[in-house]
Amino acid sequence: GRHLLGISDLSTEEITLILDTADAMREVGQREIKKVPALRGRTIVNLFFEPSTRTRTSFEIAEKRLSADTLSLAVSTSSVVKGETLLDTVSNIEAMAPDMLVVRHGSSGACHQLARHCRSRIVNAGDGLHEHPTQALLDAYTMRQHKGRLDGLQVAIVGDLLHSRVLRSNLLLLRKMGATVRVAAPRPLVPIGIEALGATACRTIEEALDGADVVMMLRIQLERMQNNFFPSLREYFLLFGLTAERMALARPDAIVMHPGPMNRGVEIASDVADGPQAVILEQVANGVAVRMAVLYLLGGGSEE
Ligand code: CP
């Protein structure tokens, strides 16, 4: 397609193509090849209306390694703070003729709306509670790297399921690729209809972790919660936190993942986050290669 709006639009063949292309991109940025000319002459603007460390940085590095001309709008010092709408802001950026826009926004569906109005190719870097497709792709890449496959993998996803676009995109991708997904969270944080998306909802973290190949922890998103969080963060850790003791329920060769940013001592114990089974920083490293693959496939070759 012209854009990357969500995993829901991708076929299994397209997902595999992105992961295979990322394999080739891993070489770029190493000692031998610092950058490639694939996107020379293309202009990419990164528009992050919500905070980001990993996604924004890795898109910027990916763009530079593909030789694109790239800039990031500093939203907090832009005219967005004067009340300019998303569409007006983007129309003005588009008047300067960029080729691609990488967009993170707090509203679910913001990227779809832009795709209907824009000339540029849109890459969704996270829209509200909806999707975060490049995160799911880098997670899948990391799982495939460690486990050799996605088909048949048993994946446990535990944490704030309700507010998680990472969950949604991962669930869509993993089900398409033949993995099994078990989820666990306190009942108020389990979205209605999660089983219709192909997940098995467990009452306890122990049930979700039993025999898992992959354990993915999700951040408690306090900034998206209106009321006081119940149970308290301390109770949450006692009931649903990933500890070394609980990790022993998963397969001995299981990997521990977290999209970041982590709340240490809330959803994950520090010794597990820093332990030998954690691949959390590998996820970040793989994010650059996966985002290079996405940008290259959207804008590097033919116009398809
Ligand atoms: N995983 C992720 O999206 O992190 P950032 O919010 O720091 O980009």
| 165 has binding-site annotation | yes
- In this prediction, residues 115-136 reach a mean pLDDT of 97
Among 54, 175, 251, 264, the one annotated catalytic: 54
116 is catalytic: no
In the predicted structure, residue 302 carries a pLDDT above the cut 90: no
Spacing, Cα 253 to ligand 1 middle (Å): 26
Residue 33's pLDDT band (boundaries 50, 70, 90)? confident
Spacing, Cα 296 to ligand 1 middle (Å): 21
Among 3, 56, 65, 104, the one annotated catalytic: 104
Spacing, Cα 167 to ligand 1 middle (Å): 13
Ligand 1 binding site (Cβ under 6 Å of any ligand atom) = 52-56, 126, 135, 259-261
2 is catalytic: no
Q: Considering the chain, what percentage of its residues have pLDDT values greater than 90?
A: 88
For residue range 52-64, what is the model confidence (pLDDT) as tens digits?
999 999 999 999 9
In the predicted structure, residue 27 carries a pLDDT above the cut 90: no
Most informative mutation of 55, 75, 103 for ligand 1 (most atoms within 8 A of CB) = 55
> DSSP letters of the chain?
---B--GGG--HHHHHHHHHHHHHHTTBTSSSBS---TTTT-EEEEEESS--SHHHHHHHHHHHHTT-EEEEE-GGGSGGGGT--HHHHHHHHHTT--SEEEEEESSTTHHHHHHHH-SSEEEEEEETTTB-HHHHHHHHHHHHHHHS-STT-EEEEES--TT-HHHHHHHHHHHHTT-EEEEE--GGGSPTTTGGGTEEEESSHHHHHTT-SEEEE----GGG-SS--SS-HHHHHHHH-B-HHHHTTS-TT-EEE--S---BTTTB-HHHHTSTTB-HHHHHHHHHHHHHHHHHHHHTSS--
Residue 304's pLDDT band (boundaries 50, 70, 90)? very low
ipTM for this model = 0.98
Q: Whose Cα sits closest to atom 1 in ligand 1?
A: 259
In the predicted structure, residue 301 carries a pLDDT above the cut 70: no
Residue 300's pLDDT band (boundaries 50, 70, 90)? low
Residue 227's pLDDT band (boundaries 50, 70, 90)? low
Most informative mutation of 46, 48, 53 for ligand 1 (most atoms within 8 A of CB) = 53
Which range, of 51-60, 109-118, 126-135, 219-228, averages the lowest pLDDT? 219-228
132 is catalytic: yes
- In this prediction, residues 199-207 reach a mean pLDDT of 98
Among 3, 64, 121, 132, the one annotated catalytic: 132
26 is catalytic: no
In the predicted structure, residue 282 carries a pLDDT above the cut 50: yes
* Closest ligand 1 atom number to CA of residue 132: 3
121 is catalytic: no
In the predicted structure, residue 168 carries a pLDDT above the cut 90: yes
Q: Whose Cα sits closest to atom 6 in ligand 1?
A: 52
Please tell me whether the overall predicted TM-score, pTM, comes out greater than 0.90 for this model. Answer: yes
